[in-house]
């Protein structure tokens, strides 16, 4: 069993007990009392242990190991000894490996209060030997693990280090899997989230959670609510399939709440994580290859966003995987799926999402787009996928972009393949030139909600469809004005939901719960 452990920085007895009670109420089964700054009153520490609503780890972390205790080490150990020999000792006592190795006197004192082969009285308290490095992976990480494993009194090995990249998590998983003793291996910082969420999948002794956002006791610690509700803690097991959104940055992506809620809704054994990878291809390749190579991780796919959409194509091509033909034509893919035989498939679900949202608005099948006139405003990444998709189905696409050269590039790439693609000056944009208008610029996006790519609301023709790829806000100024003029409007949220749904279906082989996805978007964008 992997304990969901809330770490509490103790400053006040009643406040700490209240935090422990709240931790228990929201599902923690272990607490860690960090008494780094609560060392003046020994009896208050004993009282804390006596009244604790959950089994606990007692930790007094010195400043030299990243904690807040800056007093004398002998006093610290004497306090831990006092608490450990009380009538209600902690379930675990955490002592730094460095301190333990440094001092025979400390080892002897700790030996009086923890369970070990030579003990003279029955003791339940287990010793956690721990090592923390806040600057990166220590060169002797594996030596430290071996020393902990060799120490007869050590019941639990704990290694925590600052992850330099997502790749560090793989080593944490391997350490947990290989150790002969219960192990905690956690990576700190933004890149370390997988090690914290997936600790249960790999059978670690515990993971740490903050009681609430802002109460973290280490960098990158998620809140217990995030672990339980966003990252599906209760559902995780050794077989859980892992997915993620690869981008840079990805901190505010809506994809983790959407896909995790989707997995929940259909009862799929998966979890979806943010995966920040620096822009260069070498980083993308090294990280994705290492995640794929770690068989027990069950890394089965990813959403891929800026700046990695081209990197995904290159990677899948190099690995001998299959690429959706239109993704190749577009030159960008946003979905990686790992098939059951381990082969890779890259596809682009953006263009299909836009096509289907518009076709539904027009009440036609994709094939009936032939000959329809579609105005695309903008010529960046989103426009490229959309132009390619509509042109592929025979539509006539008119690109209106501030920088003419970029529009001309799209014309050169896609004109004549099936449909017709032309470029026009933005000042020629009017309500009658096309039956479908698609904004692919950020004009109108939060926080600049007063902006619009069509500042003089045109005289839209009857039955016009106006689609804004922006999803924050859900209704942009462009859509508001188009709706007031009687147009059929489509929000970027619909495109986002549909591209996510196609990804979800390619991973799970199950229909995506669209209403759940829409609900998550509404909830997040209304906050
Ligand atoms: P991009 O590659 O940076 O392209 C942005 C385009 O907008 C460029 O053509 C740029 O013109 C134009 N533009 C930017 N600022 C402008 C301004 N002030 N006035 C006129 N034109 C301006 O961005 P992208 O990835 O294509 O994304 C564009 C939009 O699509 C974003 O709002 C994004 O939220 C949305 N999007 C939505 C989804 C979805 O699922 N709903 C998916 C992807 C993207 P220049 O060429 O002249 O620079």
Q: How far is the CA of 330 from the centre of ligand 1 (A)?
A: 16
524 flagged as catalytic: no
Q: What is the pLDDT of residue 457?
A: 82
- CA distance from start to end of the chain: 35
On whether both 252 and 171 belong to a single domain, the answer is no
Q: Please state, for a pLDDT cut of 90, what percent of the chain lies above it.
A: 94
Q: Is the pLDDT of residue 95 over 90?
A: yes
Q: Is the CB–ligand 1 distance for residue 381 below 6 Å? A: yes
Q: What is the pLDDT of residue 375?
A: 97
On whether both 289 and 371 belong to a single domain, the answer is no
181 flagged as catalytic: no
- The pLDDT of 288-298, averaged and rounded, is 98
- The pLDDT of 445-452, averaged and rounded, is 96
Q: What is the pLDDT of residue 179?
A: 81
On whether both 196 and 96 belong to a single domain, the answer is yes
At 527, the pLDDT band (50, 70, 90 cuts) reads low
- The pLDDT of 105-112, averaged and rounded, is 94
308 flagged as catalytic: no
**Can you give the pTM of this predicted structure?**
0.95
Q: Is the pLDDT of residue 417 over 90?
A: no
Q: What is the CATH number of the domain that holds 251?
A: 3.40.50.10860
Q: Is the pLDDT of residue 28 over 70?
A: yes
Q: Is the pLDDT of residue 34 over 80?
A: yes
Of 213, 238, 263, the domain-final residue: 238
Q: How far is the CA of 304 from the centre of ligand 1 (A)?
A: 17
- Substitution candidate for ligand 1 out of 402, 404, 439 with most atoms within 8 A of CB: 402
Q: Is the pLDDT of residue 104 over 80?
A: yes
On whether both 198 and 51 belong to a single domain, the answer is yes
For residue 499, give the ligand 1 atom closest to its CA. Answer: 40
Q: What is the pLDDT of residue 268?
A: 98
- The whole-angstrom separation of Cα 160 and Cα 225 is 22
At 119, the pLDDT band (50, 70, 90 cuts) reads confident
- The pLDDT of 489-514, averaged and rounded, is 97
Catalytic residue among 3, 116, 158, 228: 158
- The whole-angstrom separation of Cα 332 and Cα 309 is 5
At 121, the pLDDT band (50, 70, 90 cuts) reads confident
For residue 472, give the ligand 1 atom closest to its CA. Answer: 34
Q: Is the pLDDT of residue 526 over 80?
A: no
When the pLDDT of each residue in the chain is averaged and rounded to a whole number, the result is 96
Of 209, 238, 267, the domain-final residue: 238
Domain count, the chain: 3
On whether both 415 and 317 belong to a single domain, the answer is no
Q: Is the pLDDT of residue 309 over 80?
A: yes
Q: Please state, for a pLDDT cut of 70, what percent of the chain lies above it.
A: 100
Task: State both tokens at 219.
Answer: 């960098």
For residue 407, give the ligand 1 atom closest to its CA. Answer: 46
On whether both 139 and 105 belong to a single domain, the answer is yes
DSSP secondary structure of 102-167: H-HHHHHHHHTTS--TT-SS---PEEEEEEEESSS--TTHHHHHHHHHH-TTEEEEEEEEE-SSTH
Q: Which residues, in sequence order, are CB contacts of 454 under 8 Å at separation 6+?
A: 377, 429, 437, 478, 481
Buried b (16+ CB within 10 A) or exposed e, 201-231: bbbbbbbbbbbbeebbbbebbbbbebbbbbb
For residue 451, give the ligand 1 atom closest to its CA. Answer: 18
Q: Is the CB–ligand 1 distance for residue 519 below 6 Å? A: no
At 180, the pLDDT band (50, 70, 90 cuts) reads confident
> Helix (H, G, I), strand (E, B), or coil: what is residue 418?
coil
On whether both 183 and 274 belong to a single domain, the answer is no
Q: What is the CATH number of the domain that holds 391?
A: 3.40.50.720
Could you read off the pLDDT of 183-222 as tens digits, one per residue? Answer: 999 999 999 999 999 999 999 999 999 999 999 989 999 9
Question: Which residue segment(s) compose the domain that 168 sits in?
Answer: 3-238
At 71, the pLDDT band (50, 70, 90 cuts) reads very high
Residue 174 sits at φ, ψ, to 5 deg, of -65, -40
Q: What is the CATH number of the domain that holds 218?
A: 3.20.20.70
Return the residue whose CA atom lies nearest to atom 34 of ligand 1: 470
On whether both 362 and 231 belong to a single domain, the answer is no
- Of 360, 11, 492, whose CA–CA distance to 215 is shortest? 11
On whether both 290 and 380 belong to a single domain, the answer is no
On whether both 252 and 227 belong to a single domain, the answer is no
3-state SS string for 298-350: CEEEEEECCCCHHHHHHHHHHCCCEECHHHHHHCCCCEEEECCCCCEEEECHH
158 flagged as catalytic: yes
Q: How far is the CA of 378 from the centre of ligand 1 (A)?
A: 6
On whether both 384 and 368 belong to a single domain, the answer is yes
- The pLDDT of 409-416, averaged and rounded, is 95
Q: Is the pLDDT of residue 62 over 80?
A: yes
Q: Is the pLDDT of residue 112 over 70?
A: yes
Q: Which residues, in sequence order, are CB contacts of 18 under 8 Å at separation 6+?
A: none
Q: Is the CB–ligand 1 distance for residue 446 below 6 Å? A: no
On whether both 407 and 433 belong to a single domain, the answer is yes
Q: What is the pLDDT of residue 286?
A: 98
């Amino acid at each position: 069993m992997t304990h969901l452990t809330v770490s509490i920085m103790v400053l006040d007895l009643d406040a700490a007990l209240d935090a422990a009670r709240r931790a228990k109420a929201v599902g923690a089964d272990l607490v860690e009392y960090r008494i780094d700054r609560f060392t003046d009153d020994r009896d208050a520490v004993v009282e804390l242990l006596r009244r604790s609503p959950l089994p606990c780890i007692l930790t007094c972390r010195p400043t030299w190991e990243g904690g807040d205790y800056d007093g004398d080490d002998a006093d610290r150990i004497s306090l831990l000894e006092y608490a450990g020999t009380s009538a209600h000792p902690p379930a675990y006592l955490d002592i730094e490996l460095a301190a333990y190795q440094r001092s025979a006197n400390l080892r002897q004192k700790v030996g009086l209060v923890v369970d070990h082969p030579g003990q003279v009285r029955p003791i339940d308290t287990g010793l956690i030997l721990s090592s923390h490095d806040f600057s990166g992976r220590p060169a002797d990480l594996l030596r430290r693990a071996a020393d902990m494993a060799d120490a007869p009194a050590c019941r639990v090995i704990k290694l925590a280090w600052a992850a330099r990249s997502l790749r560090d998590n793989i080593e944490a998983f391997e350490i947990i899997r290989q150790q002969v003793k219960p192990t905690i291996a956690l990576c700190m910082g933004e890149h370390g989230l997988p090690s914290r969420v997936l600790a249960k999948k790999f059978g670690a002794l515990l993971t740490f959670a903050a009681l609430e956002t802002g109460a973290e006791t280490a960098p990158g610690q998620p809140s217990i609510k995030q672990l339980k509700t966003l990252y599906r803690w209760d559902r995780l097991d050794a077989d859980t399939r892992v997915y993620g959104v690869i981008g840079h940055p990805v901190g505010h992506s809506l994809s983790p709440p959407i896909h995790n809620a989707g997995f929940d809704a259909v009862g799929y054994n998966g979890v979806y994580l943010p995966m920040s990878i620096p822009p260069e291809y070498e980083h993308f390749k090294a990280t994705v290859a290492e995640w794929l190579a770690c068989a027990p991780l069950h890394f089965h796919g990813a959403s891929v966003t800026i700046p990695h959409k081209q990197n995904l194509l290159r990677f899948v091509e190099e690995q001998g995987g299959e690429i959706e033909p239109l993704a190749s034509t577009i030159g960008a893919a946003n979905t990686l799926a790992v098939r059951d035989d381990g082969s890779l498939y890259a596809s682009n679900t953006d263009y299909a999402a836009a096509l289907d949202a518009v076709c539904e608005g027009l009440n036609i099948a994709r094939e009936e787009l032939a000959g329809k006139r579609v105005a695309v405003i903008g010529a960046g990444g989103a426009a490229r996928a959309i132009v390619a998709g509509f042109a592929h189905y025979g539509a006539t696409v008119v690109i209106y972009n501030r920088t003419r050269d970029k529009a001309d590039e799209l014309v050169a790439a896609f004109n004549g393949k099936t449909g017709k693609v032309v470029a026009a000056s933005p000042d020629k944009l009017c309500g009658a030139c096309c039956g479908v208008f698609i904004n692919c610029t950020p004009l109108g996006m939060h926080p600049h909600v007063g902006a619009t790519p069509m500042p003089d609301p045109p005289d839209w023709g009857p039955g016009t469809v106006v689609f804004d790829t922006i999803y924050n806000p859900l209704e942009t100024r462009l859509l508001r004005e188009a709706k007031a003029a009687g147009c059929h409007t489509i929000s970027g949220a619909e495109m986002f939901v549909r591209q996510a749904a196609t990804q979800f279906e390619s991973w799970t082989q199950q229909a995506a719960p669209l209403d759940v996805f829409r609900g998550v978007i509404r909830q997040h964008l209304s906050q």
